[in-house]
């Protein structure tokens, strides 16, 4: 059996190694148009900033080492330009010599990945404008920085690459501005959770231009101007274009192969395309969203590697299946960690799901053990079925392990209430006896059983201030004086029983505290005396962060730029 693989990075390299482990006699040829194979895409921004010191540390294998171990013919600087399914060959161009030839195959695997979006903006040909996809791109950016010593940079796009490069350029001493057409960064997160990401970036001096669209670039003698649709141009010494990626499926388009979202390659759960003996994996393929079952694109290394293994199994006569992706991801933003899995609230509502949520602010380990750090967790579930459908967690420690637990629970199709039953490891330096994941389960269980009713951030402005409801803040007077929501009266939770006479019977009571715990206790006290109570999801800390972020964004629109 002869297998030809197009693309030698995540999915392609994984498939090649797996095929060899399953079939020692298979002939395996990999064509990679760049000069590197099996490299760490996710590590590229950290080479720019110097965290990864040597370029060779970005590559897990070389063509020589891959051949020595797996006897796979890895040909770099070779681009497959056409597929001929009728005669089971591909046309290949040697990018060094310019020569072309045909290569036959019994099985063909496509793993071309995704390419950066490059709109037809004016000024796209300037040498001060960069994209980041390959090792060569990284080396080019690093070389430019070392040669020209830029003092400022504009990054267009607020996704994973944009934020990681922003952090690394800041650490090189540059003044960095991120331009994003939406009013939030990091689209997998809901806007309320993204507020914590915005705050961390601003804290480290990154300027945010949210809700502004780029319409072109203009090279100047000193630097480059980023032209905005609705604001004054931004001037910088260099620009990174990171507005997103699109499936690199140009090779498939001329074959009659079935295509899907954004021209992606449609595959079944065996990673087979619509043409016999041709498989496809990675960022170029359309897959199923595990939670909703809808078609989607997920450009992440984890799914690409899994798909490569599955395709390899089936190429070698197996029957492996890919059950879809959840989009589980994590990102470091200076000192902050932000992670997500499943779908967010915005996506759930757009899909017509009856979604509810809990928002909590636990510490990463036992409160009495020194050094605890607060995290913010937003966990989503379907009201009717109690199905766990998504989570977003942002904090300074312990975020990654909690998101992985919830990602596993989603994959296991657990109910959200079952999070309270998980038997998770505990010692004071690592967790609490009631882990934050357990706490989310307890809270959801209370909601499902009707023990607690919630009110939410989006209701704040609509709450009547005419005396028809009671608005109650149960924090200490000192906390209340440092900031509170207009119209809320302050009765600390520990004084509540003695001051019940100040709360008029027969009116609904909307309660808030700093994190949601004291207000929960207050609602239970009040419920015991017959009051109709609602606990604020997230607490004042959550409200204050989101409100401040929105005020900054609105101010930015008024003056044309975020400060």
- Which residues are part of the catalytic machinery? 42
The Cα–Cα gap between 551 and 555 comes to: 6
Q: What share of the chain is helix, strand, coil (3-state, %, to 5)?
A: 35, 25, 40
Q: How far apart are CA 549 and CA 406, in angstroms?
A: 27
What six digits make up the tokens of 508? 């609904």
Contacts of 396 (CB under 8 A, 6+ apart): 335, 336, 337, 364, 373, 374, 375
Per-residue tokens: 83: 């597929």
Q: Which of these, 547, 542, 557, lies nearest to 208 by C-alpha position?
A: 557
Round to whole Å and give the CA distance between 313 and 496. 64
Radius of gyration of the chain (CA): 27
Length of the chain: 563
Residue pair 216/227 in contact (Cβ under 8 Å)? The answer is yes
Cα 323 from Cα 31, distance rounded (Å): 28
Nearest CA-CA partner of 551 in 504, 501, 483, 492: 483
Q: Distance between CA atoms of 423 and 445, rounded to whole angstroms? A: 17
Q: Report the sign of the C-alpha dihedral through residues 178, 179, 183, 185, in that order.
A: negative
- 353, 382 contact by CB (below 8 A): yes
């Amino acid at each position: 059996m002869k297998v030809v693989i197009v693309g030698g990075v995540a999915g392609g390299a994984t498939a090649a190694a797996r095929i060899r482990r399953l079939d020692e006699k298979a002939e395996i040829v990999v064509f990679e148009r760049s000069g590197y194979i099996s490299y760490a895409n996710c590590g590229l921004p950290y080479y720019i900033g110097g965290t990864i010191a040597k370029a060779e540390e970005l590559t897990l294998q070389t063509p020589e080492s891959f051949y020595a171990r797996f006897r796979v013919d890895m040909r770099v600087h070779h681009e497959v330009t056409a597929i001929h399914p009728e005669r089971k060959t591909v046309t290949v161009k040697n990018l060094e010599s310019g020569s072309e030839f045909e290569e036959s195959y019994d099985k063909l695997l496509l793993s071309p990945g995704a390419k950066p979006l490059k709109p037809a903006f004016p000024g796209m040909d300037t040498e001060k404008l960069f994209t980041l996809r390959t090792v060569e791109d990284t080396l080019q950016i690093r070389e430019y920085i070392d040669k020209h010593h830029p003092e400022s940079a504009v990054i267009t796009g607020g996704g994973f690459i944009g934020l990681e490069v922003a952090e690394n350029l800041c650490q090189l001493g540059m003044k960095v501005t991120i331009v994003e057409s939406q009013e939030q960064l990091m689209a997998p997160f809901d806007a309320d959770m993204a507020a914590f990401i915005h705050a961390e970036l601003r804290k480290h001096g990154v300027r945010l231009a949210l809700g502004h669209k780029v319409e072109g670039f203009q090279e100047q003698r000193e630097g480059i101007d980023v032209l905005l649709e609705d604001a004054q141009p931004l001037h910088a010494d260099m620009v990174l274009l990171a507005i997103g990626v699109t499936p690199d499926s140009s090779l498939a388009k001329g074959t009659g192969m079935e295509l899907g979202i954004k021209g992606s390659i449609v595959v079944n759960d065996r990673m087979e395309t619509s043409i016999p003996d041709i498989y496809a994996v990675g960022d170029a393929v359309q897959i199923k969203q595990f939670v909703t079952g809808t078609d989607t694109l997920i450009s992440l290394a984890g799914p690409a590697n899994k798909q490569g293994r599955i395709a390899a199994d089936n190429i070698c006569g197996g029957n492996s299946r890919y059950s879809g992706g959840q989009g589980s991801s994590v990102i470091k933003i200076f000192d902050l960690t932000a992670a997500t899995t499943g779908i967010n609230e915005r996506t759930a509502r757009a899909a017509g799901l009856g979604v509810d949520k809990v928002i909590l602010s636990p510490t990463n380990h036992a409160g009495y053990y020194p050094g605890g750090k607060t995290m913010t967790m937003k966990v989503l579930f379907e009201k009717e079925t109690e199905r766990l459908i998504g989570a977003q967690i942002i904090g300074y420690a312990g975020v990654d392990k909690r998101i992985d637990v919830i990602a596993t629970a989603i994959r296991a199709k657990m109910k959200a209430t079952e999070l309270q039953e998980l038997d998770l490891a505990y010692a004071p330096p690592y967790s609490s006896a009631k882990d934050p994941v357990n706490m989310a389960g307890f809270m959801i269980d209370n909601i499902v059983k009707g023990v607690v009713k919630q009110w939410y951030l989006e209701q704040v402005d609509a709450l009547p201030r005419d005396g028809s409801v009671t608005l109650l803040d149960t924090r200490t007077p000192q906390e209340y004086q440092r900031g509170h929501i207009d119209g809320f009266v302050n009765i600390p939770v520990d004084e509540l029983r003695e001051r019940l006479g100040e709360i008029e019977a027969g009116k609904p009571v909307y309660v808030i505290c700093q994190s949601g715990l004291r207000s929960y206790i207050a609602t239970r006290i009040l419920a015991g005396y017959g009051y109709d109570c609602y606990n604020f999801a997230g607490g004042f800390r959550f409200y204050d962060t989101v409100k401040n972020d929105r005020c900054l964004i609105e101010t930015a629109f008024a003056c044309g730029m975020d400060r």
